[in-house]
Amino acid sequence: MFDMSLRTAEGLDKYFKDNGTVKGPLHGLPISLKDQFHVEGYDTTMGYVGWIGTYEGDKDIVKVNKINSQIVKELLSLGAVLYCKTSLPQTLLLGETVNNVIGTTLNPANQLLSCGGSSGGTDIGGSVRIPAGFCGTYSIKPTHDRLSYRDVANTNPGQDTYASSVGVMGTTIDAVKLVMTSILSTQPWIRDPAVISMPWNGDMKKSTLARALPDGSANKKLPLKLGVFWTDGVVGPQPPIKRGLRIVLDVLKSMGHKVVDWNPPLQNNAKRTHPTVRTTSTSSSNSLVNLKCLLFGKASSCVTQFPCSNTRI
């Protein structure tokens, strides 16, 4: 993609020379793309050897190297220079970056360590957060459908039970904010009805920042209140992560902010509920009765054979 990036940069220089202004808020900013995003003229392999020279495995010449993902179009319209695609693990769902097309990607700061995974650009279980944590950068995983997933390759299209989000990584918090606000300024929901039609809320940002003084200490009238999620009841953070969290929380408390432990419903309940609901939903006329049994724990209402519980959804 280096040849395309050079052409794009030359075009942006000409645009500035001819118009005396930038094309958009990302004018000239180099941006890499996770190898899920389609860029016209280039393969999207997503780590699959079988996808080389195809469109997600399809050899239809109308599609192969002919499509831009919506977010690619938006970034180009904002003046970004798309200069490369980053590697990712085959099938995406992995905390490291290794595949049979490129090989293994290592940590840029220490080649003896992993860079994390599944690279940066989309996130379902940590794919922009894990690499940021491993490599000392910044990232944001927005709510699902905050940014467009239109014409983006995925490992399991149509799976929306736990859907992934298009996210942003950068070397500074300001860079992450700039890209996020710039994309939202294009109103992506006009082109993709799945996107939530919500502009960037600058007022909410200001009101949140106002709860801390310039030195970071609490505004005594309305300090920040932060919830800490220590464990889901199944797994918890490793000791170094716990230690880091406690250091941060101790500093926040010393500056007057409020910190509370957040204890949502246990994941054990969800794990037990899911297969039971699935079993219930396949039981023709008794489905509603069985679901009431599951939700409200009334054993006398149960028709099919499964244990009642007091789980709430």
Cα(42)–Cα(83) distance, integer angstroms: 12
Which residue among 87, 119, 127, 182 is the active-site one? 127
Q: Residue 306: name the closest of 137, 296, 293 by CA.
A: 293
Q: Is residue 270 packed enough to be buried (19+ CB in 10 Å), middle (13-18) or exposed (0-12)?
A: middle
Label the pairing between strands 103-104 and 98-99. Answer: antiparallel
H, E, C per residue of the chain = CHHHHHHHHHHHHHHHHHHCCCCCCCCCCEEEEECCECCCCCCECCCCHHHCCCECCECCCCCCCCCCCHHHHHHHHCCCEEEEEECCCCCCCCCCCEECCCEECECCCCCCCECCCCCCCEECCCCCHHHHHHHCCEEECCCCCCCCCCCECCCCCCCCCCCCEECEEECCHHHHHHHHHHHHHCCHHHCCCCCCCCCCCHHHHHHHHCCECCCCCECCCCCCEEEECCCCCCCCCCHHHHHHHHHHHHHHHHCCCEEEECCCCCHHHHHHHHHHHHHHHCCCCCHHHHHHHHHHCCHHHCCCCCCCCCCCC
127 is catalytic: yes
Cα(312)–Cα(269) distance, integer angstroms: 8
Residue with tokens 């009765």: 289
Which residue among 69, 118, 148, 164 is the active-site one? 118
User: Which residues are marked as active site?
Assistant: 34, 118, 127
